[in-house]
Amino acid sequence: MPEKHLSEEIILETRGLTKEFKGFVAVNGVDLKVRRGDIHALIGPNGAGKTTFFNLLTKFLLPTRGTILYRGTDITHEKPAQTARRGLVRSFQISAVFPHMTVLENVRAALQRGLGTTFHFWKPESSLYGLHDRARQLLAQVGLQDFADELTVNLPYGRKRALELATTLALEPELMLLDEPTQGMGHEDVSRVTQLIKKASEGRTILMVEHNMNVVSSIADRITVLQRGTIIADGPYAEVSKNPQVIEAYMGSADTELQGAH
Amino acid sequence: MQRSVVLLYAVLVLAGLVAPWLDIYPVYLMTLYSFAIFACAFNLLLGFGGMLSFGHAAYFGLGAYTTSWLVTAQHWGTLPAILAGMAVAALAGVVIGGLAIRRSGIYLTMITLALGQLVYFVCLQAPFTGGENGIQGVPRGTLLGLLPLRPDMTMYYFVFALLVLVFLGIRRIVSSPFGQVLKAIRENEPRAISLGYDVNRYKLMVFVLSAAIAGLGGSLKALVLGFATLTDVMQGNSGEVILMTLLGGAGTFLGPVVGAGVVVTLQDVLSDRVGSWVTVIIGCVFVACVLAFRKGIVGEFLAWRARRSVRAQAGGSADTPAGEAAPAAGEAAVSSR
Amino acid sequence: MTEIFGYPIPVILGQLMLGLVNGSFYAMLSLGLAVIFGLLGVVNFAHGAFYMLGAFAAYIGLEALGINYWVALVLSPLVVGGAGIVLERLFLKHLYKLDPLYGLLLTFGLALIFEGVMRYFYGSSGNTYPVPDALQGVFNLGFMILPIYRAWVIVASMTICFATWFIIERTSLGATLRAATENPRLVQAFGINVPLIVMLTYGAGVGLAALAGVLSAPVIQVSPLMGSSIVVVVFAVVVIGGMGSILGSIVSGLALGMIEGFTKVIYPEASNVVVFVIMAIVLVLRPAGLFGRE
Amino acid sequence: APNEVVIGDIDDMSGVYADVIGQGGVEAIKMAIADFGGSVLGKKITILTADHQNKPDVGASKFREWADQNGVNMILGGSNTGVSIAMSKVAGQKKVPFIAIGAAGASLTNEDCTPYSVHYAYDTTSLANGTASAIVQQGGKSWYFLTADYAFGTQLRTAATEVVEKHGGKSLGEVRVPLGTTDFSSFLLQAQGSKAQVLGLANAGADFTNSLKAAQEFGITKQMKPAALLAFISDIHSLGLKTAQGLYLTTGWYWDLNDATRAWSKRYFSVMKKEATMNQAAYYSATLHYLNSVKAAGSTDPDKVMAEMKKEKINDMFVKGGYIRADGVMIHPMYVMQVKTPAESKYPWDYYKLVKTMSGEEAFGPITGKCQYAKK
Amino acid sequence: MPTEMLRIEDLQAWYGESHILHGVNLTVNEGEVVCLLGRNGAGRTTTLRAIVGLTGARKGSIRIRGEEAIRLASHKVARLGVGYCPEERGIFSSLSTQENLRLPPVTAQGGMSVDEIYAMFPNLKERAASPGTRLSGGEQQMLAVARILRTGARLLLLDEISEGLAPVIVQKLAETIRTLKARGYTIMLVEQNFRFAAPLADRFYVMEHGRIVQQFEQRELADKMDMLHEFLGV
Ligand SMILES: Nc1ncnc2c1ncn2[C@@H]1O[C@H](COP(=O)(O)OP(=O)(O)OP(=O)(O)O)[C@@H](O)[C@H]1O
Ligand SMILES: Nc1ncnc2c1ncn2[C@@H]1O[C@H](COP(=O)(O)OP(=O)(O)OP(=O)(O)O)[C@@H](O)[C@H]1O
Ligand SMILES: [Mg+2]
Ligand SMILES: [Mg+2]
């Protein structure tokens, strides 16, 4: 691959990314490259530093060392919101919705930013009604069209996750970071969300943390395995799942192949 | 807005228009309205911004001092002096808010408290505030050089009009695009950040708006009563505005107005009869509010109405045991993280 | 050399000494505040009021019952701490599940009540509490005359602060307290009576405030307003030290008292606000406070 | 209230000055009304009282409310100069006679005067003329002031400085103490640093007693001679003679001056269980003088009553031949006293020995012309 | 007739407004190892938390050695001899490893001594002085289990103790459980990791939507695999 296309090809790159908590190294010199258009999964045992790594990417934590390059630009020291506006958007391990707003308003809150009127405290709410069509479209994508006017607290867990995804999609992210998108879901929900992610990945890149290997194996193009803050394997599923070090660190007993606890 | 709400507002405005003809002491009503504006401003921050400030007297007091000083010592017109009062209060909001929003929750509260005290000491020592004496004999002046405000009646309608304006203004702010973002931040701050909102700027903005409106309340109070003193900037005043808002119902529109009405009336009626027990009674109301009455008068009323309509719909099947009732809207409004 | 920056050294030293006395009170009060906040998650606005009540308990004890200073030093914290326990049972315990702001507001209300009641009975002017006989007299430090009583205040409060720090950081009771701070319900599920500990901790924190009140009684006027004027400063001290940090409370309490004293020499007008200004600076540089954990 | 003559009393009922007037003032008004017969012009005389808590806004609002709502005819009050100035502003607006007592600030009859305000008992000018001149004449040439940080303290300090300088002394500076300070030690340490001979205490009430006590605790009274610019008998009582002995002070009245004062004080003491301060005695005198003037004017019309009050001489147990000058100052003799030693004191409340009597004119000085209603 | 250690009848539990358990019935006999299976969110953790009083409101009956515990405050439940090891481990960061270990008070005789525990988990001895949360995930898990062994509690409620642990450690934990069983402890296991739990448990309960839907014994395990597959996807 010619050098000049590298930044086109690699949407996100970290170099020597490190996070220490008072002497404890949670993320240790991680060099990760995420290719544009991939669904890239990050796996590893509990406490490996996955969430910490995500927090570094989205600026919820400041790295101790190392750099983060997004489309070739150094974004290491940007503020969280700035990063989000660049198109790098995350979802949360625990469900992240605005509970006392309607489902529609949740999505609208994300769309609203595009209007550039978010500081206009003198404009009426009706100035936002123009966003409703797009919001309903997004809700339809995740199967929530019938719940638009429902108060979000009242949604069941799985639907909240779906809503969260719709909200994230509203930002037209180029790179989506999903932290355990299927956690806490029943089996039907898991497969639905898996399909959703697959669908959402069209035209964008996804980096996700996921413990459920069924999900990972079915949709991930590439897998990085983290252990004690360092990368121990990186590559396509088929390759990584046979890596003995991964089997030892993540799965344990060598008689099984890479498989989640589920 | 619902029909019933519009109707209620119409009735209230009508009542406000005829009130001075009903042998109610207009100075009392004007004081009440000034504090109602103050409480509305405070509620904007607490009820809709999710931030509890314990130093709001600073903005109220700065508004009062600025306006008083400008009309008394600099002979400014009434309206420019009021606007300047709001501007100074807003500026203080920028500084104090800018520091306070570096933390959240009770930390924010303690910081505003301490910085409010700082403003108090500055007002105590600054040359133009008159120290312990305050600024006395502040003239009301004329409105735009036309309408003299000296008579209580004209002043009354001026203050009343401003109260209505502030009230509608806050309704508008809350439902505006800005208000929507604010709500999202209050509901789930990390999520709002991840949607690309620089939440501190919105928090600061609402802080400043609240400070400016509180400053308006202070300016009007100074003009109505003719003085600005340290009482305006004192911690006790910050406590009172909290009480007004909490008692009326934080996060409701009418709550602060009702709360201001109750507290000002209480003080007016009680101070002659019970002397220093006023503080005790205010303290008891505080305790009662926190323990048993967290939604406030208006909030409890709304909740009662909501319960009634739910029961009407569902035929009354509640299988949660007592004591685990739904979190109140008011509580949700107060909790900020 | 007898001057620093044009200020006579004896004056500076004298003010620092007095600042240290004030700092002792700040340290004791913010310590109690930090302990209570740590375990109950309540910002005890009534802390100043308990300090005031402690002083009044000693004063009333002496005036009405002839109880001497040394007895009051033990009895007053017990009585006021006991009252604190009653209040915790009656009111505060209903608030633990709610936003901490409610605890702040409730204790603010309580502070108003105490202050109002004491104002009704004792007026708002101060009452004098005599220096105990054993501590009469002065040390001539050369640069200033230091009344023995003030020296005693410094020694006593430092001892108490150290003892509190030791109990919390170095004993198994302290370990239980720290654990309960992190996750009270789990600690209770291990078989520890956390509600009891919480109650006693509140009592102890309040007692500490009362003790500071007794210590301060012969130094300042015993007045209903003495608490509300100090509590805001103590809040600022806590913000500076880092909320919930025991060591932070002690160190910043003492340090700020001395900084205040120093300010009185070089720029007296600013002595009331210097603590708040420092707080603002700390917030900009280290939002979590000097000793705080984010 | 058409069938009543309403006298209001707005005062510090619970704060640092409560002992100086407070309930004792109310009692004195009641005594005056009783002595007057309970009614005037066929109308019953009633009293309203309020606590201004030393807050100008509270005092002014109460004044305004009573004027607007309760038809108050005359208001007594003060104790606190700041509050009194605020109230006199309202008095001018609402045309209600206001007799300021206990507020020392001379500005009440100068820059801040109104046609309806009267200043009774003493002011900063007369206090400074008493104590300061007496001490400078005895050799206390260099002064350092501990000033209560509001209008009263500032005016008292200014007046005292003028007197000190007029008599050949000098002021080395001052430290301003916020109202309600409870620990004076650090301020005193500053005063000590000045190396002045005299520590001028430009404060009053509890502030005065506390600062004097702290000065003793820190051994400052050994180096500097304290001068009370305003002290009341209640202060001396609470300090005790052991602490207060030798102190010079200036007063407008003393219970043990003559038979008339002793007779009145006996009645007062039987109710209040303590001797009256000059303020409380002045309350009695002022109330009586107002009622006499109403009777003489045959009306409660403020302008007529004010004219009458300024016309008639005042003769009662407080003063013989006192009068209210055009600018509102009540001119009467002032007494420089020295506090007795415990050995000199023969009976309860036997606290003062008279050093010097100043005539009213000497004490209060000539009219300044700063009052716009009373040009020179 | 084996003695009943724990009997739960019609247990209902709430978190705030949400009704999670809708009438759970189960019993555990003394000396038994019982495993609670179920999908994510079925309510297994909630069942354990309800026993020790960590949920919101509760209804129904929980008998521990015949004594009704539903109204007891959670510290009193612990004193009936219940040791709870939470899903999230609950190691205290401001306490050292040793302080963490010594935190739960001894409530009955017969608990292990600290030396015995250190012999069982040598890692903990090695790291006794370091702050609890500095331990590796596996060590934290060991600490969480070890902590309740000291107290003398005879009924252990263990929630997902194998989660996220390296297989070596999982094997070790399995051994530990066997040892404990041999010593007569009663254990209630909540496990996602069926492979870990299957060989250990005497009996199994399957939960679904806050209710027990199945119950079977170790020897029936093979016959039930199809059903488990359907319910749990194992
Ligand atoms: N704020 C913090 N302070 C100290 N240590 C921390 C902090 N946050 C995380 N850690 C530690 O860093 C390590 C990595 O944690 P992280 O949450 O990134 O793990 P993870 O890989 O996401 O695990 P899981 O699969 O359980 O979500 C853990 O050992 C954790 O204890
Ligand atoms: N603190 C809480 N507040 C509200 N709901 C909760 C809380 N904890 C758990 N729940 C809900 O209770 C239900 C049962 O949760 P529980 O933790 O008991 O499940 P589980 O069977 O242990 O599953 P797993 O541990 O695999 O997620 C879930 O729907 C969960 O979302
Ligand atoms: Mg994680
Ligand atoms: Mg679970």
Chains E/D: 3 or more C-beta pairs closer than 8 A?
A: no
Provide the 10 A C-beta neighbour count for residue A129. 10
At residue B337, the pLDDT reads 31
Q: C49: number of CA atoms within 13 Å, CB side? A: 21
Q: Are B124 and D50 inside 8 Å of each other by CB?
A: no
- For residue A7, name the pLDDT band (cuts at 50, 70, 90): low
Q: Do chains E and C touch (3 or more CB pairs under 8 A)?
A: yes
Mark yes or no for CB contact E40/A249 under 8 Å.
no
CATH tag, E4-232: 3.40.50.300
* Burial class (CB within 10 angstroms; exposed 0-12, middle 13-18, buried 19+) of D239: buried
Distance between A172 CA and the closest CA of chain B, angstroms? 11
Average pLDDT across chain B, whole number: 87
Q: Give the A:E interface size as CB pairs under 8 Å.
A: 38
Written as six digits, the tokens of C219 are 């130094």
Which pLDDT value is given to residue E232? 67
Query: Which ligand is the nearest neighbour of the Cα of E41?
Result: 2
Task: Please give the distance, rounded to the nearest whole angstrom, from the Cα atom of residue B320 to the centre of ligand 3.
Answer: 33
pLDDT at position B130 over 70: yes
Q: Which of E19, E20, E49 to mutate to test the pocket of ligand 2 (most atoms within 8 A of CB)?
A: E20
What does the pLDDT look like over B211-262, one tens digit per residue? Answer: 999 999 999 999 999 889 888 999 889 999 999 999 999 999 999 999 999 9
Ligand 3 centroid to residue A41 C-alpha, Å = 13
Tokens of B10: 């119409």
For ligand 1, what atom is nearest to the CA of residue A226? 21
- pLDDT at site A187: 59
Note the pLDDT tens digit of each residue in B191-217: 898 888 889 999 999 999 999 999 999
- Residue D312 sits at the vertex; the CA angle it makes with D79 and D31, to the nearest 5 degrees, is 50
Region of E24 please: left (phi>0), alpha (psi -120 to 50) or beta.
Answer: beta
Nearest ligand, CA E42: 2
Tens digit of pLDDT for each residue in B141-154?
A: 888 878 888 888 89
| Whole-angstrom distance, CA of residue D240 vs CA of residue D245 | 8
Average pLDDT of the residues in C271-277? 88
Q: Does A262 touch chain E (CB under 8 A)?
A: yes
Pairing, β D74-78 against β D98-101: parallel
Let me know: does C139 contact C145? Beta carbons within 8 Å: yes
User: Which pTM value belongs to this model?
Assistant: 0.86
- pLDDT tens digit sequence for D72-108: 999 998 888 888 988 998 999 899 999 999 888 888 8
User: Would you say residue B318 has pLDDT above 50?
Assistant: no
What residues does ligand 1 touch, defined as CB less than 6 Å away? A 21, 24, 26, 44, 46-52; E 133
For D162-213, the pLDDT digits (tens) are 999 999 999 999 988 877 777 888 888 888 888 899 999 999 888 898 899 8
> Which secondary-structure segment (H or E) carries B143?
strand B142-143
- Hunting for tokens 């050292």 — which residue is that? E96
Model pLDDT, residue C22 = 92
pLDDT exceeds cutoff 50 at A255: no
Q: Domain-by-domain residue ranges, chain A?
A: 1-87+174-262, 93-172
Lowest mean pLDDT segment, chosen from A240-254, C166-180, E210-224: A240-254
**B240 near B282, Cβ under 8 Å?**
yes
Crossing angle for the helix pair B26-46 and B235-248, to the nearest 10 degrees:
80
Question: DSSP 3-state assignment of C51?
Answer: helix
Distance from the first to the final alpha carbon of chain D: 38
Q: What is the pLDDT of residue B332?
A: 36
Which tens digit of pLDDT belongs to each residue from A101-150? 999 999 999 999 888 888 888 888 888 888 999 999 999 888 888 889 98
Chains touching A, CB cut-off 8 Å, 3+ pairs: B, E
Q: Which ligand is nearest to the CA of E165?
A: 1
D74 three-state secondary structure = strand
Contacts of A2 (CB under 8 A, 6+ apart): none
**What's the fold here for domain B24-294?**
ABC transporter involved in vitamin B12 uptake, BtuC (1.10.3470)
DSSP string, C130-174: PPPGGG-SEEE-SSSEEEHHHHHHHHHHHHHHHHHHHHHHHSHHH
pLDDT in tens, C2-28: 677 677 787 888 889 889 999 999 999
Between the two ends of chain B, the Cα-to-Cα distance in Å is 29
Residues of C in contact with E54 (CB under 8 A): 185-186, 189
Closest CA to B64 of B236, B262, B245, B237: B237
Q: Is C143 exposed, middle or buried (0-12, 13-18, 19+ CB in 10 A)?
A: middle
Q: For domain A1-87+174-262, give the CATH number.
A: 3.40.50.300
CA D177, CA B124: separation in Å to the nearest integer? 12
Q: What does the pLDDT look like over C88-133, one tens digit per residue?
A: 999 998 888 888 889 989 999 999 999 989 988 887 777 888 889 8
Q: SS3 string of B210-227?
A: HHHHHHHHHHHHHHHHCC
B106 φ, ψ (degrees, to nearest 5): -65, -25
- Residues in the ligand 2 pocket, defined by CB under 6 Å: A 157, 184; E 15, 18, 20, 38, 40-46, 87, 192
- Rounded to the nearest angstrom, the distance between the alpha carbon of E33 and the centre of ligand 2 is 23
Plot region of C137 (φ>0 → left; ψ -120 to 50 → alpha; else → beta): left
Cβ of C239 within 8 Å of Cβ of B111? The answer is: yes
* Exposure class string for B145-156: b at 16+ Cβ within 10 A, else e: eeeebeebeebb
Rounded to the nearest angstrom, the distance between the alpha carbon of E56 and the centre of ligand 2 is 12
User: Which pLDDT value is given to residue B325?
Assistant: 32
Distance E44 CA to ligand 4 centre (A): 6
Q: Which residue of D55, D181, D189, D237 to mutate against C (max C Cβ within 10 Å)?
A: D189
Please name every residue paired with D46 in a beta bridge, in sequence order, or none if there are none.
Answer: D6
Q: In the predicted model, what is the mean pLDDT of residues B117-143?
A: 87
Alpha carbon separation from E121 to B94, B204, D100 (Å, rounded):
57, 53, 85
**E231 alpha carbon, distance to own chain's centre:** 22
Q: What is the pLDDT of residues D283-315, one digit of tens each?
A: 999 999 999 999 999 988 999 999 989 988 999
**Which chains form contacts with chain B, at 3 or more CB pairs under 8 Å?**
A, C, D, E
E101/B325 Cα distance (integer angstroms): 38
Strands E58-64 and E4-15, bridge-based pairing: antiparallel
Burial of E105 (0-12, 13-18, 19+ CB in 10 A): middle
What are the tens digits of pLDDT across the range E127-169?
888 888 877 777 888 899 999 999 989 999 999 887 656 666 7
Classify the complex by whether its ipTM is higher than 0.90, answering yes or no. Answer: no
For C181-195, D35-49, D131-145, D169-183, which range has the lowest pLDDT when averaged over its residues? D169-183
* Residue A246 DSSP SS3: helix
Judge A/D contact: 3 or more CB pairs < 8 A. Answer: no
- Among protein residues, the one with the nearest Cα to ligand 2's atom 16 is E43
Average pLDDT on A160-164 reads 83
Q: Residue with the nearest Cα to atom 5 of ligand 1?
A: A21
Q: Is the pLDDT of residue E189 over 70?
A: yes
| The predicted structure's pLDDT at residue A28 | 92
Q: Say yes or no for a CB contact (<8 Å) between C188 and E104.
A: no
CB within 8 Å of A254: residues ≥ 6 apart:
A244, A247, A248
> Distance, CA E88 to ligand 3 centroid (Å)?
12
Chain E adjacent subunits, 3+ CB pairs under 8 A: A, B, C
- Which ligand has its closest atom nearest to the C-alpha of E20? 2
D82 with D150: CB under 8 angstroms? yes
Reported as type and span, the H/E element at residue E21 is strand E18-29
Bridge pairing between strands E186-190 and E155-159: parallel
Mean per-residue pLDDT of chain C: 89
CB contact under 8 A, D193 and C124: no
B8-46 pLDDT, tens digit per residue, is 999 999 999 998 888 888 889 999 999 999 999 999 999
For chain C, domains (ranges, CATH) are: 3-285 (1.10.3470)
Residues near ion ligand 3 (CB < 5 Å) are A 51
Q: Are strands A39-43 and A205-209 parallel, antiparallel or unpaired?
A: parallel
Taking the C-alpha atoms of residue A34 and residue A11, their distance in angstroms, rounded to an integer, is 6
Q: Are E206 and E38 in contact (CB under 8 A)?
A: yes
Structure tokens at D185: 């030690």
Higher pLDDT, D112 or C59: C59
Domain boundaries, chain B: 24-294
Does residue E102 sit at the C interface (CB-CB below 8 Å)? yes
Task: Map out the domains of chain E as residue ranges.
Answer: 4-232
